[in-house]
Structure 1
Amino acid sequence: MQKYWPEKRCHGKDNIWYAINQVTQEEVILKYFSMSNCDEYKVSREAYTMKYLYNEDPKHFLEMYDYMEDNNEDQYMIAMEKAECSLEDIVNERGHLSEEEAVPVLREILSALKVMHKNNFIHRDLKLSNILIKSRSDLSSIKIIDFGETLDRSDDYHITGMVGTLHYMAPEILKKKKYGKAVDIWAVGVIAYRLLTGYFPYITEGENHSKQLKAILNNSVSYLCADDKRLSIKAIDFINCILDPEPSSRMGIETALEHPFLDPYFEGEFIPYKPIPKFTKKMSKENMKEGKPLDMKGN
């Protein structure tokens, strides 16, 4: 009898399934990797990263139960603890979150990323569908997953290679420059914008890197929600400080966690950290599409 029985595919993830451990009857998540398409080292590296991060921070990372090879089915498999859904599912269902709802979620995402960066892991494909929710009753119960593109790099060693999902990619990746941990911070800015508005801040037709980069450099963002309401000045400033095209001046994790937008105890007059950008007109529904991951290898 096989140990795990897959029951249904996770929304938006062809290789990830909800399953049952037939020995314990526990619900789990299975992630499959084709042996013919995946490098064994890369799969084992993802399993190692997952296990390492869970040991460092079980609050924000899923526990890995098994790492198995099935030569009969030509696949590797990682079994992990179950979460109920992804942040992508929540946004698709609800359109967007209120600022009050989004603040604790963003704080937890940044706290998880702080653990990753402290241990020199750069995720490189951080997005809503790679952030799971342990319980729908607590949207801040986030668990970061999918470390297939994650690399272990210190601050003085930079990476090349166009890896990730286009609409979350930092401009330094699109410019094909060397990059580091700041690309994950940029992705948090895109995530914040998407959570709060239901849209992506920058989007172009098709998977066009040069047009995407041009849209970022033009900095034409509406900060309008799906219901046509503008975000608060604190929320706009928070996102604007993270979506800085220059990685060296992009707001870091500690500063982001201390920003008044994420501080429930902030009182007094708020003075923006940066000049508030000029707003554009309402974004189209095209700005709600996530796009597909890209993988143009570097080091």
Structure 2
Amino acid sequence: MRMEIQTVNNHINNSLILPSLIPPESNHSLNSSITPHSRSNSPASSNSEIEKDFQDLDLTSSNNQTLGGDLNNCSKSNGSLSGASSSSANTSNIISNGNTPNTTAQVKKRISSSRTSTRKARRIKFYRNGDRFYSGITIPVSNERYRSFESLFEDITRLLEDNVKIPGAVRTIYTMCGKKVTSLEELEDGQSYVCSCNNENFKKVEYNTSSQPLSILALTNKANNRLSKMYRPLSPLKNGTALGSNGSPMLTKSIELDNIVFPRIVTLIRNGTKPRKIMRLLLNKRNSPTFDHVVQSITQVVKLDTGYVRKVFTLSGTPVLQLADFFGEDDIFFAYGTERVNNSDDFKLESDEHKAIQAIRKTLRTAGTAYQGPKPKMPTKSKNTKPVPIDPKLEDEESTLNNIGIDASELPAAIRENYVLGQIIGDGNFAIVVKIKERKSRLPYALKIIDKSKCQGKEHYIDAEVRVMKKLQHPHIISLLMEVDQPAIMYLVVDYVSGGDLFDAITRVTRFSEDQSRVMIRHLASALAYLHSMSIVHRDIKPENLLVELDDIGNVTQLKLADFGLACEVTEPLYAVCGTPTYVAPEILMETGYGLKIDVWAAGIILYILLCGFPPFVSPDNEQEPLFDAIISGVYEFPDPYWSDICDGVRDLIANMLQSDPDVRFTSEDILDHYWTMGESS
């Protein structure tokens, strides 16, 4: 494949721009899926208030039995929702005094006649943005209960936290078509909506609308024993569910998910005519919090002719009965529907099936091979920055202004009055970077001076960088403190990082220890997880764009992500081919559309380089065509002697970050959840 590469000078950054290139719902236990907190000090968010508002719903509707159950048997206990209300409590008092209504209908009539239209709550169902497995929550919404969106957001956030992993607080509500809801009055009774955290964009997925409505925070649980967050019934999909004396599932103390679920890729064999279809699936804490969720994920991937996956077996034919079975030694599973298992031959692999599985594991098979020929080298630095001499005389502000060709009177007043200019620390094609100090605090910062006349036609990259950086506030991302936009020059005041960029650090050290590499990949993955939670892709992750702080002996203590000229929000697949050749993901080169996970691929390349000093995909004389062929093939090695002293854990992490198929490639959160990143041995 032959491709032309056009150089895009992103201010100081010469980034390369290439020309263009649900299933049926499983039976969830409502007790285990809804666990709102009871806050005695917050009347607007207490469970008793939710109960009260649910009683304000129209009990004469067709759902009145589901909602209220037997009104004469309603009761209320602390911390649980039983469907009882103050009205039903008053009814109990009347009954105890001998003034018993003749029928349940009279009770309903009493409640209905005492209710005004202003107290009638709307029954609204909410889904988690982008989660096609979560069955949703339904809560009563009334003007008396929620005075503003903020109070509704607070309640929804608290309810979601007990059921799914969310990246932050609920900030936006969308209709099922993606239209933003701006007022409580727009929420219609009986309708469903999507709630978004941290201002995420609406994600159009097939939400799990086939499930039974969860109007039923007031559950028909006669014992009124709502399960606490730490207890869950055995999954209904497991064979041999244990039942208690009253016929209900026995409670088992749940094991914390952090101790069971970890990111891993499993291989799935679809039941059918041999040779059977083989697929892969990424399991992690987001899509595998329960056994049911994993089975639903498998159903989505394998698409059985018989519909829903009902039975899962290991390669040896052992039934998979609990969540932990998916995270044990086995990573190959057979997926069955309602069809029977005929005999042990069903679990034997044919030659073609065996070859397909081995091909999937081709990367891991290269571990331990000996490298032939001279050691590969790092590519040349892509930023054409001129070396800047470190001279104490350049600390003089007047000398600095003379060197950059700017008169003191031309400096914006906001910068001239608040900062003192120091030495030049970077000089590129479009911009100059100067070290500055705040006059009051004497704290160091960096001033980026962008000459607009040198980047005509590429002004949108400057605008994109400023627009994205204004949204960001993270300890491992360079912060934008001030921007001053003038007709000829753009001034940006940003964080100052004393250790320079990671490329220069690699050049000095050649390779880093596992402990040092772990610190850097943690910081980078944390920054990416933050970006990706906001649906922002960086698109140019490379050592030149990572700035580091060093301690007295030269160890990296801090890493910060910089240069957001190519960053953009992802609302649909992107096709613009951009990046730097060594770090570009295969889906960019193949022009099949890409998203957030291209940043994970680039981070995997960087982690590989940190540990051995050269990239996994190389080509003679930095020729692009063979380099792109190697990237698309996805075949690389962990050659000795460069990898002989490096543990299997980090090799496993790299192998999962450098998956050619983005669907099974790790996410940025998976990097943080991996046992090697967390410092565990296995």
Q: State the TM bucket, normalised to the shorter chain.
A: 0.7 to 0.9
Distance in 1 (alpha carbons) for counterparts of 2:429 and 2:653 = 30
SS at match of 2:449: strand
Aligned partner (choices 13, 29, 47) of residue 466 of structure 2 = 47
Q: Partner letter of residue 245 of structure 1?
A: S
* In structure 2, distance between residues paired with 1:251 and 1:86: 26
Return the index of the structure with the highest Cα Rg.
2
> Residue 140 of structure 1: CA displacement?
4.2
Separation in 2, partners of 1:214, 1:188: 20
CA shift, 1:69, in A, is 3.1
Distance apart, 1:174 and its partner CA: 1.2
- Cα shift at 1:209: 4.4
Q: Cα distance, 1:21 vs. partner? A: 4.1
Query: Using a 3 Å threshold, how does the CA distance of structure 1 residues 225 and 192 change in structure 2: closer, same or farther?
Result: farther
Cα offset, 1:83, TM superposition: 0.4
Does 1:177 pair with 2:592? yes
In the other structure, the counterpart of 1:276 is none
2:444 to 11, 22, 27: 27
Q: Is residue 132–residue 145 contact of structure 1 (8 Å, CA) maintained in 2? A: yes
Change (3 A) 1:27 1:128: same
Contact 2:480 2:494 in 1 (8 A): yes
* Alignment correspondent of 2:537: 122
Offset, 1:207:
6.2
Mapped partners of 1:103, 1:94: distance in 2: 16
Counterpart residue type for residue 34 of structure 1:
D
- Judged with a 3 Å threshold, the aligned counterparts in structure 2 of structure 1 residues 13 and 94 are, in CA distance, closer, same or farther, namely farther
Question: Is 1:260 aligned to residue 675 of structure 2?
Answer: yes
2:558 is matched with 141
- Cα distance, 1:256 vs structure 2: 2.1
Partner Cα separation in structure 2 for residue 12 and residue 100 of structure 1: 33
- The verdict on how the C-alpha distance between 1:95 and 1:12 changes in structure 2, with shifts beyond 3 A counting, is farther
Within 2, Cα distance between the matches of 1:16 and 1:225?
Answer: 42
**Amino acid of the residue matched to residue 558 of structure 2?**
S
1:111 aligns with 2:530: no
Q: Which amino acid aligns with 1:93?
A: R
Contact 2:523 2:559 in 1 (8 A): yes
1:52 is aligned with what amino acid? K
Partner of 1:286: none
Residues 525, 668 of structure 2: 8 Å contact kept: yes
Q: Distance in 2 between matches of 1:145 and 1:126?
A: 9
Partner secondary structure for residue 638 of structure 2? coil
Q: Matches of 2:612 and 2:438 in 1, distance apart?
A: 42
TM-score by length of 1: 0.77
Please give the root-mean-square deviation of Cα atoms over the aligned residues, in Å. 2.7
**1:242 has 2:661 as partner:** no
- State which drifts further: 178-187 or 245-254: 245-254
Q: How many residues align?
A: 260
Evaluate the alpha carbon distance shift between residue 141 and residue 232 of structure 1 in structure 2; reply closer, same or farther with a 3 A threshold. Answer: same
Report the AA paired with residue 485 of structure 2: E
Which residue matches 1:273?
Answer: none
- Per-residue CA deviation, residues 76-118 of structure 1 (Å, 9 max, x unaligned), is 2212120012222221111111112111211111011000000
Distance across 2 between alignment mates of 1:171 and 1:75: 37
Residue among 616, 627, 644 paired with 1:201: 616
8 Å CA contact retained: 2:433, 2:447: yes
Are 1:90 and 2:509 an aligned pair?
A: no
Which amino acid in 2 is paired with 1:145? A
Out of 152, 166, 172, the position equivalent to 2:569 is 152
- Deviation per residue, 1:42-97 (Å, 9 max, x gap): 3233123112112xx2x1122222212344xx332212120012222221111111
**Contact 1:199 1:226 survives alignment (8 Å):** no
* CA positional deviation for 1:240: 1.1
- The Cα shift of 1:40 comes to 4.2
Secondary structure of the residue aligned to 1:129 is helix
Distance 1:13 1:86, change over 3 A: farther
After superposition, give the CA deviation of every residue in 1:197-253 in whole Å (9 maximum; x if it has no partner): 111111224665442221124444342489674532212111111111111111222
TM-score, scaled relative to structure 2: 0.36
* Structure 1: gaps spanning 5 or more residues: 271-299
Q: 1:186 is matched with which residue: 583, 595, 601?
A: 601
Q: Classify the secondary structure of the residue corresponding to 1:80.
A: strand
1:65-104 to structure 2, matched below 5 A, reads 65-71=481-487, 74-84=488-498, 85-104=500-519
Q: Judging changes above 3 Å, is the alpha-carbon distance between structure 1 residues 198 and 206 closer, same or farther for their aligned structure 2 residues?
A: same
Going from structure 1 to structure 2, the CA distance change for 1:216 and 1:51 (only over 3 Å counts) comes to same
* One-letter identity of the residue aligned with 1:79: V
- Distance in 2, matches of 1:196 and 1:226, equals 12
Which amino acid in the other structure matches residue 53 of structure 1?
A: L
**Structure 1 pair 173/230, CA: closer, same or farther in 2 (3 Å)?**
farther
Which amino acid letter does the alignment assign opposite residue 122 of structure 1? V
Distance in 1 (CA, whole Å) between partners of 2:495 and 2:632 is 40
Q: Structure 1 residues 41, 237: CA separation in 2 closer, same or farther (over 3 Å shift)? A: same
CA gap of 1:226–1:30, structure 2 versus 1, over 3 A, is farther
- Structure 1 residues 219 and 40, CA gap change in structure 2 (3 angstroms): closer
Shift of 1:171: 0.4
CA distance in 2, matches of 1:126, 1:114: 13
Mark the CA change 1:226 to 1:8 in structure 2 (over 3 Å): closer, same or farther: farther
Quick check: 1:98–1:196 contact (8 Å CA) kept in 2? yes
Residue aligned with 1:83, SS = coil
> What is the CA distance between 1:12 and its match in structure 2?
8.1
Structure with greater contact order relative to length (CA < 8 Å, sep ≥ 6):
1
Task: Give the direction of change, closer, same or farther, for the CA distance of 1:122–1:228 in structure 2 (3 Å limit).
Answer: closer
Residues 15, 225 of structure 1: alpha-carbon distance in 2 compared, 3 angstrom cutoff: farther
User: Structure 2: any 5+ residue segments left out of the alignment?
Assistant: 1-407
Identity rate of aligned residues, in percent?
Answer: 23
Q: Helix, strand or coil: the match of 1:261?
A: coil
Name the SS for the 1:200 alignment partner: coil
Task: Give, in whole Å, the separation in 2 of the partners of 1:114 and 1:232.
Answer: 25
> In 2, are the aligned partners of 1:6 and 1:30 still within 8 Å (CA)?
no
Match of 2:479 in 1: 63
| Change in CA separation of 1:43 and 1:208 when aligned onto 2, cut-off 3 Å | same
Please tell me the residue identity of whatever aligns with 1:152: E
What is the SS of the residue equivalent to 1:10? strand
1:18 matched to which residue of 2? 434
